[in-house]
Chain A
């Protein structure tokens, strides 16, 4: 799982260089949702994903970014729930 960790490239979301380790470990549950977009020209990323993650995670990776306004509305609801706790 760690064989590509030292490869470096520019992250289009963050705007600076990161290594592959960041892309695969951005959250404990799943890699960055853009990992397929960003790495397929440099490493066999689809093979890597299918060898290291289960179907649920792979399906999650196929979810494209939501329109921003909708993401914010969802976060507002989550924050309201926090406020009520």
Chain B
């Protein structure tokens, strides 16, 4: 088969999501409180419906995708699998490179995969309204879109300065019927307090999150919940439709074996979405290299030891098992906002510790160079986060050329960068720089965790 795009019929879309927690050789460790006890899932009940919390803690391997969600996925799914022929030619590689194009969703990224599912489960639970926060508006627009499909109200607290300066995402939300409110607002106690102190404040993401959570928790009717687009297990679960589709499409393309799976890893959902179904194959003996990619300037997966770490420098928050550079670590700057997390998602950390993933760090200049090559060969302009996966793909394709091997590589092209072109502008104007983290700085930071308990995987 020599097609550029490999499609699945709607009826061939996976009917179940895959839950990696069921197959890990050793179960994932629960988040611990400062007293050493696991955090109870009941604590999440004020903000999430119980059916999603059940998914959050589920160890069931396959979870049925409701008919209604499948029907809504049909609007853009199954997403096409592309063969990156022009990139292969440019690189002169014997590797066959495939990418899952998640930029075809109405909101332009993978995020509606979970937004639609979350809106559905909230509606099933009797919820009438969802709240969330947004900066530039990517998640806010995905959730507004999902709520429009399910007939839910959607209230998005958008940081005031973004509300004023970034009107197009706001208009997307409003077009889908979302109520977009500049934050801080007079609708919440948190917002009013800030406005009293500083009526002209431009707002912040922290304030917007506070408002969104407060609006959900304090609704006297009990009909409002909060929605989150990354990090949590149920979010990753919903995204596995990406990898499950990809496996079917690779078979249609005539590929009997995949050698390398690549995704950028920040909150973890787009990486998990493509890779977790392949991780299952690896657990069952398949020889696959699975690569989460992170920025070299903030290497939480590639250089840090696996340890329980505090979530803050004040050491007040519960302990989570994660790859961490230590809670006193402050990462250098980078222009891919979605990848700026202190600690990787615990489930991804666990899979790394079990040897199932091979994380890699790449400098931002190499990522932008890769994104430019991609745009000039494959045509699509990538989100800055997605450029990390492209850079790793190019590295592997070049390695295949050196080794003379016909490897099969697949990456998750998680979204377009058409509303995030300022990073490209900075790159093209020579305003971006690489900042390798000195080894001494890493060692010093890791030493701050020496007294903390270590997780046992035995």
Chain A interfacial positions (CB closer than 8 Å to B): 9-18, 22, 25-28, 32, 34, 36-41, 59, 61-76, 78-80, 82-83, 85
Contact of B166 among A16, A28, A74 (CB under 8 A): A16
Are B322 and A67 interface neighbours, CB within 8 A?
yes
Q: Would you give 30 A-B contacts (Cβ < 8 Å), ordered by A?
A: A10-B426, A12-B334, A12-B340, A14-B136, A15-B135, A15-B166, A16-B165, A16-B166, A22-B161, A22-B202, A28-B201, A34-B333, A37-B340, A62-B313, A64-B313, A64-B329, A64-B331, A65-B341, A67-B31, A67-B231, A67-B341, A67-B342, A68-B267, A70-B311, A74-B317, A76-B47, A76-B213, A78-B210, A79-B213, A82-B218
B249 to chain A minimum Cβ distance, whole angstroms, is: 31
B180 to chain A minimum Cβ distance, whole angstroms, is: 14
Q: Which residue of A lies closest to B218 (CB)?
A: A83
Given A15-B337, A79-B217, A82-B189: A70 in contact with B317 (beta carbons within 8 A): yes
B142 to chain A minimum Cβ distance, whole angstroms, is: 14
Ranked nearest first, the 9 interchain pairs of A and B with the lowest CB-CB distance are: A15-B136, A12-B337, A79-B217, A14-B135, A66-B311, A75-B213, A64-B342, A79-B214, A10-B422
Is B103 located at the chain interface by the 8 A CB criterion?
no
Residues on the A chain within 8 Å of B331, using CB:
37, 64
Between A and B, how many residue pairs show CB distances below 8 Å?
A: 158
Q: Which residue of B lies closest to A28 (CB)?
A: B198
Within 8 A of A (CB), among B294-312: 311-312
Residues on the A chain within 8 Å of B166, using CB:
14-16
Given A12-B337, A16-B136: A26 in contact with B202 (beta carbons within 8 A): yes
B386 to chain A minimum Cβ distance, whole angstroms, is: 14
Are B231 and A64 interface neighbours, CB within 8 A?
no
Residues on the A chain within 8 Å of B332, using CB:
37, 40
Q: Which residue of B lies closest to A41 (CB)?
A: B433
Residues on the A chain within 8 Å of B342, using CB:
64-67
Please, how many angstroms separate the alpha-carbon atoms of A36 and B435 in the complex?
Answer: 13
